[in-house]
Amino acid sequence: MSNKLSQNIIGQRLANLRKTRGFSQADLAKAVQISRSSVTQIELGNRSVNIIELQRLSMVLGFSLDDFVSGDFGMDQDVEGAVIKESDAERISVPSMKTDKFKNVLLYILEKCAGKPNVGETVLYKLLYFSDFNYYELYENHLTGATYRKLPFGPVPQKLDAILRQMITGNQLKRVKTEYHGYPQIRYLPLEKANLTELRASEKDVIDRVIEQFSDWSATAISDFSHKDIPWQASREGEDIDYELAFYREAPFSVRNYGEEIEGDGI
């Protein structure tokens, strides 16, 4: 089988089938009796699938092995007989910027962190990134809806300059140029408090955890950490980072409790 299809193609087809059938990675791992991390690596194309595992996957996901390894496999039929195109099988995750929510999240983070000398633009951008992607991994919904792009110094929210200008003009923020450890630094100081009625308890909780974990980190440390996160690693330079990649995270990046994992080798 591996001679006919690359691991990447096998992983993509299995990921599409899993999402189409409504399985989480944890659910599928339990049903097939392998670890969730194995499912993650298979879907990313980093791990091969042996014939026994593929047979179990075919039984759980309801596909024919002969069809699966064919060159024109497109998941023509689901288990109910409805036609499904491979291009339509991916979960739709198109973020839409919630400007007011983004402003309140930014103000809330700055209320908590603006007084820390390490929190310049770089650290602030990463606190926003981890808040957004951690929330999506946990709740499968967008927090601010911001789009992040893979740039050399880490994930950067798009359209941020325009929002910051609005907030500065509206006397919500103040932009300050300073130095930190001999290097130039741009900082933002909040001039008003966040409207907490705009933040759900679950949203505030995720942001608080991110602040607790990362707000004391240096710009270099948090940038290096973000570069090891699967959403960053699996994206191309200069392109938008897909929120769906948050579901492929592993420790120490994953914020979900997936429970005890099992391997299938000892069945």
Which pLDDT band holds residue 150 (cuts at 50, 70, 90)? very high
Instruction: Find the range with the poorest average confidence among 92-101, 127-136, 154-163, 252-261.
Output: 252-261
Average pLDDT of the segment spanning 42-63: 88
Burial class (CB in 10 A: 0-12, 13-18, 19+), 117: exposed
Q: What is the structure's pLDDT at 37?
A: 79
Domains assigned to the chain:
7-88 (1.10.260.40), 99-248 (no CATH)
Enter the DSSP assignment of 83: B
Nearest CA among 156, 155, 105 for reference residue 135:
105
pTM for the whole thing? Answer: 0.71
| 96 confidence band (pLDDT: 50, 70, 90) | confident
